[in-house]
Every structure is written in C-alpha cells, then in structure tokens.
C-alpha cells in the first residue's frame, strides 16, 4: 500500500512540474496577471492562475492512481471525494475568474457559500459530532446547528488561506505543511482515503513550489489559495468526524497559522476601527519583513510556525487515542501562550497592544527587585 502512496505523490508532483509552465503561458496570454501596488511585495507584473496547475495535477493524479488502490472505498469516502472535486472545481473556477477579472469581495463570498452548500446539501457532509475535551463524551449536533457551522467553517478556512498569500511560496508551503499534518494523522488512524488524498495534494503543491518559491515565476492566485483553503477545510472537517479519536481542538491546530493570522487581523482592524475586510499591511508576513527579515527568511520562519502547529496537532490527536485528556489542556495552554507572545513581539495587533509582555516585564522587574533587596 505504501508504494501506491509514494507513486501517487510522485505522479502528482510530475504533473504539476509539467503543467505549471503551460498554465503560466496561458495566464500571460489571457492577461491573468498581478500588477504591483503599495500593498504588494513584488515589483514586476507576474502571471497568476498557478492554482489551476495544482488543481489539474491533483485531479489527473487521482484519476491515474485510483484504479491501483487495493482498497474498496466506502460510500462515505466516495461522497467525500465527489464533494471535494465538485466544490473544489467551483472554487477553482471562481478563483480563476478573479485572477483574470478581479471579482468583487461579495461575488467571491457568494461563490464560496455556494461551494460549501454543494458539500452540505449535495453530499450530506456536515459536522455531526464534536468531542467535549476533558470529559470522554461526544455531543451530537442538530442539523440547524451542524449545517450553518459547516458552511461557516468551509468559507472561513477558505478565506483564511487566501489572506496569508502575500509572499512567494508562503500560502502553498503553509498549506502543504498542514496537509502533511493531516496525512500523518490519517496514517496513525489507518484512514486510507484521507492519506491518499493528502499525498496527492502534497505532491501537486511540491511540484508547483518549484516555480513559486522565491523568486517566484508564477503566483498561485486566488485559484490556488482558495482551492487549497477549501481542501484544508474539507480535510480538517474530517477531524470532527473521527469522533472516537480526535477532539474539536485538532482541526484548529492543523490550520493554526492562517486561522491565527485571520483572528489577529480582525482584532487589529476592530481596534483601529477599520472594516474587517479592509486590506492592510499588518499580517504576519508583513510584520516579519518590517523586523528586517528577508523574503526567504520570512517564509521559512512561517513554515516553522506552521510546523509547530502541526506537531501540536499530531500530539493532540495521538493523546486522544489513549484518552489522555491532560495533554489536550497542556496543548491548548502552550498554543495560546506562544500565540499571544508571538503576536505581541511581532506586532500583529499593534505596536502598543502588548498586555502579556507588559505583565511578564512587571513580574520580572518585581522578582529582580526582591532579589536585590535580599542581597
């Protein structure tokens, strides 16, 4: 079975390597390009639509490898794959149109809601159960809660990945790390279908990164960032389905970087009395660049942060297998502490909003003063 996984990864990576240059030529031919402005880092016109190469590599790789999988997919597995391809196809179409014509935010949001509705109503995929931490019980959700929660989750995560797409290779790499995390969890749980989907997606992303890592030759555009966000939302959604082994915190950890960046962006804009969807240069990658890190260093630092979240997610999911609920508590505390400290040091909320650092500084000064008086 392992050889099939490896073959699928290699096939999709090879397809992405072959298709991306063709997509680049197509993007330039139809004028799907990204023009520099005050908010953007690049200084020359760049072709977009790179996400189309990722999507095509994934779909073709899935078609090529499926007949050789020595495993009979369940009805639920088949429904999930159909939902991923149907909703994902609509998302790629929406993103491609935006890459060419720059659609309004309302139109894009409506398209994302339609894609989420296809998943929910077309294939009956919803958050049915949630695990209650520290209390080995599970709560069944009524449809009037499950349906809007699922739609909100898919749309929210799809946009979260789109928001971090600000540097060469950033969104693709962070998404790849998150998908690798889901693949690791799928192997641990013995979920063949999810592991296969993750490795096919990961191969497509790695192949695309050869052209997208700094200095990029093509951008993934909204076609790519929205598609990867949609895939992450769908794959992380399965964390809610694995009710016997995964608590509700695990999906949040898997996509910790885009979700935390989105959360701090909302807080920042609220404090500055700006519209939530108003663009700014206060995202994680902008703040790291302002601290003096180079383009590549900034991307690699964020890769490291994404990897940290991925490790926490794997630890959390593994501990749930043995019902070690204290690990969940530790993971949550560690995550919240480092999130807040990191946000204050970098300045994600604002240069003057540093309550935890101020508190720790006061404690340190007090301890130092007490030691000085005793000596």
- Residues facing 34 on adjacent strands: 46
Specify the higher pLDDT residue, 159 or 249: 159
Give yes or no for residue 248 having a pLDDT over 60.
no
Q: Which of residues 52 and 37 earns the better pLDDT score?
A: 52
Q: Are 69 and 196 in contact (CB under 8 A)?
A: yes
**pLDDT exceeds cutoff 80 at 351:** no
Tell me the C-alpha distance between 195 and 193, whole Å: 5
pTM for this entry: 0.83
**Residue 134: per-residue pLDDT:** 47
Whether pLDDT at 169 is above 50: yes
Number of alpha helices (DSSP H) and beta strands (DSSP E) in the chain: 15, 4
Check whether 129 has a pLDDT greater than 80.
no
Mean pLDDT of 170-175: 92
The answer to whether the CB of 50 falls within 8 A of the CB of 33 is: no
Strands 129-132, 137-140: pairing is antiparallel
The winner for highest mean pLDDT among 171-180, 279-288, 323-332 is 171-180
pLDDT of residue 35: 78
Do the beta carbons of residue 344 and residue 353 sit within 8 Å? yes
Percent of the chain with pLDDT over 70: 79
Burial of 50 (0-12, 13-18, 19+ CB in 10 A): buried
pLDDT band at 245 (very low <50, low <70, confident <90, very high): very low
Looking at the predicted structure, is the pLDDT value of residue 190 above 90? Answer: no
The pLDDT score that the predictor gives to residue 64 is 94
Mean pLDDT of the chain: 82
Across the range 105-122, mean pLDDT stands at: 95
> Is 159 assigned to a binding site?
no
Task: Give pLDDT, residue 29.
Answer: 95
One-character DSSP codes across 195-231: HHHHHHHHHHHHHHHHHHSSSPSS--HHHHHHHHHHH
pLDDT of residue 143: 79
Mean pLDDT of 251-275: 76
As a whole number, mean pLDDT of residues 225-244 equals 76
- Res 68: pLDDT: 87
Residue 280 annotated as binding? Answer: no
Whether residue 161 contacts residue 228, with contact meaning beta carbons closer than 8 Å, is answered with yes
């Amino acid at each position: 079975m392992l050889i099939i996984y490896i073959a699928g990864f290699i096939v999709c990576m090879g397809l992405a390597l072959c298709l991306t240059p063709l997509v680049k030529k197509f993007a330039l031919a139809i004028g799907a390009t990204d023009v520099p402005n005050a908010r953007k880092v690049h200084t020359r016109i760049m072709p977009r639509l790179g996400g189309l190469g990722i999507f095509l590599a994934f779909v073709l790789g899935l078609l090529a490898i499926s007949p050789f999988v020595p495993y009979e997919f369940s009805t639920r597995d088949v429904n999930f794959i159909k939902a991923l391809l149907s909703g994902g196809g609509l998302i790629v179409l929406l993103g491609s149109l935006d890459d060419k014509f720059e659609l309004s935010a309302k139109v894009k949001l409506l398209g994302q809601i339609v894609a989420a509705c296809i998943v929910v109503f077309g294939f009956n995929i919803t958050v049915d159960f949630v695990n209650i931490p520290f209390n080995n019980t599970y709560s069944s959700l009524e449809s009037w809660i499950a349906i809007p929660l699922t739609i909100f989750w898919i749309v929210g995560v799809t946009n979260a990945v789109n928001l971090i797409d600000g540097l060469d290779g950033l969104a693709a790499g962070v998404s790849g790390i998150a998908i690798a995390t889901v693949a690791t969890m799928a192997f641990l749980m013995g979920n063949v279908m999810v592991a296969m989907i993750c490795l096919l997606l990961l191969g497509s992303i790695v192949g695309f990164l050869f052209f997208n890592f700094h200095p990029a030759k093509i951008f993934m555009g909204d076609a790519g960032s929205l598609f990867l966000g949609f895939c992450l939302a769908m794959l992380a959604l399965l964390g809610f389905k694995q009710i016997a082994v995964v608590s509700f915190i695990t999906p949040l950890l898997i996509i910790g970087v885009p979700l935390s960046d989105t959360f701090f962006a909302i807080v920042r804009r609220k404090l500055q009395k700006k519209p939530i969807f108003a663009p700014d240069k206060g995202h994680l990658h902008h703040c790291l660049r302002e601290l003096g890190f180079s383009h590549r260093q900034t991307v690699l630092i964020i890769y490291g942060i994404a990897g940290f979240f991925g490790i926490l997610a794997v630890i959390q999911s593994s501990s749930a297998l043995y019902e070690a609920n204290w690990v969940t508590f530790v993971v949550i505390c560690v995550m919240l502490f480092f999130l807040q400290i990191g946000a204050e040091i970098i300045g994600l909320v604002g240069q003057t909003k540093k309550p935890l650092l101020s508190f720790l500084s006061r404690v340190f000064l007090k301890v130092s003063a007490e030691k000085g008086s005793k000596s």
